């Protein structure tokens, strides 16, 4: 395997300022719809990056579960590594990589915890198995064996034979973007990069900038 020679030439259409929406949320919806139409595997998968107390960056995949003009939402255990990082340093970055379309979206900004009502609404549409898993897993903690995890799962299944309530240690976070960059692969690595930059006064909207590839 020669990684130095491993490359794909991008021959996709370009991304012009005149072709994108006036705000990044509208443009994101357009690109997400295209990813769904292209039958990309888990098009709502995104990499969430945080920084721990020692200044070390961490990244992991999670699923986007809500987006509107307020930001991009995901859900997790509030005692996990990522939640601990965000509680101490409420800033984050997320990346969507739709490689089949030669596209990525990079988002960065402050992160805020969702209120209980929003977390309850999403919890209610999760499958029972996922709800039980939310109780059973002490996410990011050392696990002596998988058998112990499955025993805990069975215990929770018996504890809640009917409705499974949302655990107090589980809920949502929202990335409130300061920047949203749309990246389109182009030939000769001369990619198109359009970045929306939020004005200091939020009611002034967004500035659209073209970046060098």
CATH 2.30.110.10 fits 7-131+167-211, yes or no: yes
**55 pLDDT more than 60:** yes
- Across the range 101-113, mean pLDDT stands at 98
Give residue 155's pLDDT band: very low, low, confident or very high (50, 70, 90).
Answer: very high
pLDDT at 32: 98
Whether pLDDT at 201 is above 70: no
Q: What is the per-residue pLDDT for 202?
A: 56
Residues contacting 64, CB < 8 A, separation 6+? 44, 45, 46, 72, 73, 74, 94, 96
The string of pLDDT tens digits covering residues 21-48 is 999 999 999 999 999 999 999 999 999 9
Q: How far apart are CA 62 and CA 46, in angstroms?
A: 6
Q: Give the active site residue among 60, 121, 189, 210.
A: 189
Mean pLDDT of 135-151: 95
Known catalytic residue at 189: yes
pLDDT of residue 41: 96
Tell me the HSE value of 146 on the side-chain side, using a 13 A CA sphere: 0
Q: Which residues contact 180 (CB under 8 A, 6 or more apart)?
A: 24, 27, 28, 105, 106, 107, 195, 196
The pLDDT tens digits of the residues spanning 126-139 come to 999 999 999 999 99
Q: Is the pLDDT of residue 203 over 70?
A: no
Cβ within 8 Å of residue 46, ≥6 positions away: 61, 62, 63, 64, 72, 74, 94, 95, 96
Residue 204 pLDDT level (bands cut at 50, 70, 90): low
Mean pLDDT, the chain, as a whole number?
A: 95
Distance (Å, whole) CA 124 – CA 117? 11
**53-67, 103-117, 170-184, 189-203: which has the minimum mean pLDDT?**
189-203
- What is the model's pTM? 0.93
Domain ranges of the chain: 7-131+167-211
């Amino acid at each position: 395997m020669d990684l130095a020679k491993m490359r794909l030439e991008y021959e996709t259409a370009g991304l012009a300022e005149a072709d994108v929406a006036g705000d990044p949320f509208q443009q994101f919806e357009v690109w997400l719809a295209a990813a769904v139409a292209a039958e990309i595997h888990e098009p709502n998968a995104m990499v969430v990056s945080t920084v721990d107390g020692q200044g070390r960056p961490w990244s992991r995949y999670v699923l986007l579960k809500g987006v509107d003009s307020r930001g991009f939402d995901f859900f997790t255990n509030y005692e996990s590594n990522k939640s601990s990082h965000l509680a101490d340093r409420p800033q984050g970055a997320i990346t969507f990589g739709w490689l089949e379309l030669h596209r990525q979206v990079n988002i960065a900004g402050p992160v805020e915890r969702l209120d209980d009502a929003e977390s309850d609404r999403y919890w209610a549409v999760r499958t029972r198995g996922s709800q039980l898993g939310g109780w059973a897993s002490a996410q990011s903690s050392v696990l002596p064996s998988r058998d112990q995890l499955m025993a805990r799962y069975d215990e929770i299944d018996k504890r809640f034979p009917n409705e499974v309530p949302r655990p107090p240690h589980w809920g949502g976070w929202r990335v409130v973007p300061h920047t949203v960059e749309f990246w389109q692969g182009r030939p000769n690595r001369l990619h198109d990069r359009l970045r929306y930059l939020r004005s200091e006064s939020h009611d002034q909207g967004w500035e659209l900038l073209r970046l060098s590839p």
